[in-house]
Chains A and B, each alone.
Chain A
Amino acid sequence: MTHSLSADYNRRAFLGKTAQGLGSVALASLAAPALLQGATSLGVLRNLPLPQKAKRVIWLSMAGGPSHLETFDPKPKLAEMHGEAMPESFTKGQQLAQLQGQKLNCFAPQHEFQKFGKNQTEICGLLPQIGSVLDEICLVRSMTTDAINHDPAHMFMNTGSQIAGRPSMGAWVTYGLGSEAANLPGFVVLTSLGKGGQNQPIAARQWSSGFLPSRFQGVQLRSKGDPVLYLGTPAGMKLEQQGADIDAINALNKQHSHLVNDPEIATRIAQYEMAFQMQASVPELMDVTGESASTLELYGCAPGDGSFAANCLLARRLAERGVRFIQLYHKDWDHHGGIKDGVALKAQEIDRACMALITDLKQRGMLESTLIVWAGEFGRTPMSQGGSGRDHHNKAMSVWLAGGGVRGGLVYGATDELGYAAVENVATVHDLHATMLHQLGIQHESFTVKFQGLDAKLSGVEGGKVLKDILT
Chain B
Amino acid sequence: MNSLPLFRIVLAAIFTTAGQLAAVPPAGKVEFNRDVRPILSDNCFYCHGPDQNHRKAKLRLDVREGALEKKAFVPGNAQASELLKRLAATDPDEVMPPPDSNKKLTADQKETLKRWIQQGGEYQAHWSYVAPTKETTAPNLHPIDTLVQKRLAALNLRPSVEADRRTLVRRLYSDLIGLPPTSEEVLAFVNDTAPDAYARLVERILGSRHYGERMALGWLDVVRFADTIGYHSDTPRNVWPYRDWVINSFNTNKRFDRFTLEQVAGDLLPDANDETRVGSAFNRLILSTEEGGAQAKDYELRMLTDRVRAIGATWLGQTTGCAQCHDHKFDPFTTKDFYSLGAFFADIKEPIIGKREEGMPLPSPVETEKLAAFAAKEKQRREALEADTQERRASQGHWEETLASGPVDVPWTPLHPLKLHGDRGSKFSQNEEEIVTVLADGSAAADTYFITLKTPPGLTTGFKLEALSSESLPQKGPGLSPNGNFILNQFSIKDGDKVLKITEASATFEQKGFPAKLAIDPKSATDPKKGWSAFGNELRDSCLYVELEKPVEGERTLTILLKQIAGDHQTLGRFRLLATSVPAPIRAPAVQFPADILATVAIPSEKRSTAQKNALAKHFRAVSPEFASHRSALSHIVAEKAEFEKTLTRCLISVSTETKRTVRIFPRGNFLDETGEVVKAALPHYLPQPKIEGREPNRLDLAQWLVSRENPLTARTVMNRMWKQFFGTGLSKVLDDLGAQGEPPPNAALLDWLACEFMDSGWDIKHMVRTIVSSQTYKQTSTAPLQLTAADPNNREFARQSAFRMEAELVRDNALSIAGLLVPKIGGPSSKPYQPERYWENLNFPVREYAADKDENQYRRGLYTWWQRSFLHPSMLAFDAPSREECCAERNRSNIPQQALVLLNDPTYVESARAFAASILKDCRGDASKRIQWAFQRALQRDPRADELKTIRALFEKHLWTYKGDLKSADALLQTGLSPVPEGLEKSELAAWFHVARVLLNLHETITRA
* Residue positions of A touching B, CB distance < 8 A: 1, 24, 27-28, 31-32, 34-35, 38-39, 93-98, 100, 148-152, 163-165, 191, 197, 199-205, 208, 213-215, 219, 222, 224-226, 228-238, 241-242, 244-246, 248-249, 251-268, 271-272, 274-276, 278, 329, 336-338, 386-389, 391-392, 445-446, 448, 450, 452-455, 461
Contacts and interface: CB of A to CB of B under 8 A. Distances in A.
Given A32-B10, A232-B905, A234-B905, A97 B293 contact: yes
B737 to A, nearest CB: 6
B955 A261 contact: no
Nearest to B299: A149
B10 A35 contact: yes
A1 B886 contact: no
B293 A249 contact: no
B883 A208 contact: yes
Given A245-B904, A267-B895, A275-B904, 5 more contacts: A98-B293, A164-B230, A236-B971, A255-B951, A446-B102
A387 B969 contact: no
Contacts of A232: 905
A340 B1008 CA distance: 58
B742 interface: yes
27 contacts: A34-B14, A34-B15, A38-B895, A149-B295, A164-B885, A200-B232, A201-B842, A203-B870, A204-B871, A214-B896, A215-B895, A224-B838, A232-B905, A233-B905, A234-B976, A235-B976, A241-B995, A244-B995, A245-B998, A255-B947, A256-B1005, A261-B783, A271-B900, A276-B900, A388-B568, A389-B482, A453-B740
A398 B933 CA distance: 66
A31 B8 contact: yes
B511 to A, nearest CB: 14
Contacts of B684: none
B329 interface: yes
Nearest to A95: B672
Contact of A233 (B231, B904, B974): B904
A172 to B, nearest CB: 16
Given A235-B972, A453-B741, A263 B14 contact: yes
Contact of A200 (B330, B331, B474, B844): B844
Contact of B883 (A39, A204, A222): A204
B739 to A, nearest CB: 6
B892 interface: yes
A454 B294 contact: no
Contact of B289 (A149, A163, A271, A329): A149
Interface in B955-1010: 955, 958-959, 962, 968-976, 991, 995, 998-999, 1002-1005, 1008, 1010
Q: What 3 A-B pairs have minimum CB-CB distances, sorted nearest first?
A: A453-B741, A236-B972, A387-B482
B600 interface: no
A338 B973 CA distance: 51
Nearest to B1007: A268
B805 interface: yes
Interface string B890-913: 001011111111101111001000
B1010 A260 contact: yes
A259 to B, nearest CB: 7
Contacts of A244: 955, 958-959, 995
B371 interface: no
Given A32-B11, A249-B1002, A261 B786 contact: yes
B906 A230 contact: yes
B90 interface: no
B901 A230 contact: yes
Interface in B78-94: none
A259 B783 contact: yes
Contacts of B782: 260
Contact of A222 (B838, B844, B896, B907): B838
B837 A225 contact: yes
Interface centre among A97, A205, A271, A453 (most CB of B within 10 A): A453
B322 interface: yes
B916 to A, nearest CB: 14
Interface in B921-967: 945, 947-948, 951-952, 955, 958-959, 962
Contacts of A446: 102
A238 to B, nearest CB: 7
Interface string B806-845: 0000000000000000000000000000001111011111
A446 to B, nearest CB: 4
Nearest to A387: B482
Given A31-B4, A229-B901, A230-B902, A253 B894 contact: no
A448 B102 contact: yes
A150 B232 contact: yes
Contacts of B783: 259-262
Contacts of A93: 672
Contact of A275 (B233, B880, B900, B972): B900
A267 to B, nearest CB: 5
A439 B887 CA distance: 35
Contact of B568 (A201, A246, A254, A337): A337
Contact of A165 (B233, B294, B886): B886
A69 B30 CA distance: 64
Contact of A149 (B7, B293, B951, B971): B293
Given A95-B672, A231-B905, A258 B955 contact: no
Interface in B768-790: 782-786, 789
A150 B291 contact: yes
B901 A231 contact: yes
B842 A249 contact: no
A235 B232 contact: no
B7 A230 contact: no
A244 B474 CA distance: 69
A229 B870 contact: no
B11 A204 contact: no
Nearest to A334: B293
B1 A27 contact: yes
Contacts of A31: 4, 7-8
A255 to B, nearest CB: 5
A264 B7 contact: no
Contacts of A163: 321, 886
Contacts of A208: 883
Given A151-B291, A249-B1003, A236 B7 contact: no
B363 interface: no
Nearest to A98: B293
B10 A261 contact: yes
A34 B871 contact: no
Nearest to A32: B7
Contacts of B959: 241, 244
A238 B883 contact: no
B366 interface: no
Contacts of B28: none
Contact of A248 (B291, B567, B803, B955): B955
B682 to A, nearest CB: 23
A278 B999 contact: no
Contacts of A233: 904-905
Contacts of B898: 219, 229-230, 275
A177 B14 CA distance: 22
B955 A226 contact: no
A229 B836 contact: yes
A345 B995 CA distance: 51
Nearest to B910: A234
B11 A191 contact: no
Contacts of B995: 241, 244-245
A197 B847 CA distance: 11
A258 B948 CA distance: 13
B226 to A, nearest CB: 11
A268 B1010 CA distance: 16
Contacts of B407: none
